[in-house]
Amino acid sequence: MKIFLPGGAGLVGINLIASITSSNPDWKMVVVDKNLNSINVARRIFPDVSYLCEDLSFTKNQKWPFEIKDCDICIMLQAEIGSVNDKLFEINNIKTTKVILNELKKFGVSRIIHISSSVVNSKSDDLYTKTKRQQELIVLSHFPDSVILRPTLMFGWFDRKHLGWLSNLMVSFPFFPIPGRGQFIRQPLYVGDFCSIIKSCICDPSLKGSYNITGLEKIKYVDLMKILRKIKSSKTLFIYLPIPLFSFLLRLWAFISNKPAFTSSQLYALIAGDQFELIDWPTIFKVEKTNIENALNLTHNDPRYSKIKIPF
């Protein structure tokens, strides 16, 4: 088995490498990602995997297209999630998808697992949401039998954004800001469980279609932060900020930094009130669910990977 992993040096990609390396060490993986810092971390931990630091939005003078020719499957992971540069959503979510799919067809790779997002079913209408919806349509127009997986907010090892960034904030500052009263519902998904789902799709070619992979435990944002604070043994105090003030501070941060970990558009997606469909994915994909507290404990206290940081 040889697996092509475009965008494979992110949260899902590196966790998937860790999972496959542990359970299927004979499988070969080729990772293509333009984030050199992430590739360097992954290469240090998993040296037997092949890595290319290249741009997936074009093929000229790039080595990655030639790596496709003897691959059995593509796990499509590349995506722009949060950026202050609007053009990156079009480039990283739309253009790269078209380019990769054309190369897959050229070399006869027919099995595609596309990692989409729960935002395609969201009330939000930001650039991330719009381009992820378009991305799904492009994948299905090229490969109608693809597997489409739509995970909710994920957390786990190697998380430099989301809960990983929040946990670092908790142990670094005496105060921790909460938007509003923090009562909006979250359905977080442990990336270890999600990687098990992906591996089931790799092993079972009969799996096709679109699946909403939602965290099965509904939890208020503030309660999730309380669990995280307990696991991190943090003494930080929560301060509750009005949404407009929180949004203003995020916009100010984005003005100062060209790579903010959290943007105002992501804030409004967070508080939009979305609650996503629950399906019995443990039965469908024959995997065992990890509860939130155990998953957070594994994320932050595992002796192998919990201390490894991906540069922002």
pLDDT tens track for 75-95: 999 998 877 678 999 999 999
- Predicted local distance difference test score (pLDDT) of residue 165: 82
- Predicted local distance difference test score (pLDDT) of residue 272: 66
Decide if 53 contacts 226 (C-beta within 8 A).
Answer: no
- Predicted local distance difference test score (pLDDT) of residue 260: 66
> Quick one: average pLDDT of 45-59?
97
- Predicted local distance difference test score (pLDDT) of residue 271: 66
pLDDT tens track for 22-33: 999 999 999 999
SS3 assignment, position 168 = helix
Domains observed in the chain: 2-155+187-214+276-289 (3.40.50.720)
> Quick one: average pLDDT of 45-53?
97
- Average pLDDT across the chain, whole number: 91
| pLDDT surpasses 70 at 277 | yes
| pLDDT surpasses 90 at 299 | yes
- Predicted local distance difference test score (pLDDT) of residue 258: 67
Determine what percent of the chain is predicted with pLDDT higher than 90.
Answer: 74
| pLDDT surpasses 80 at 54 | yes
- Using DSSP bridges, classify how beta strands 219-220 and 185-186 pair: parallel, antiparallel or unpaired: antiparallel
**pTM across the whole model:** 0.91
DSSP 120: G
> Which residues, 6 or more positions from 164, have their beta carbon under 8 angstroms from its beta carbon?
155, 158, 299
| pLDDT surpasses 70 at 259 | no
pLDDT tens track for 165-211: 889 889 999 999 999 899 988 899 999 999 999 999 999 999 999 99
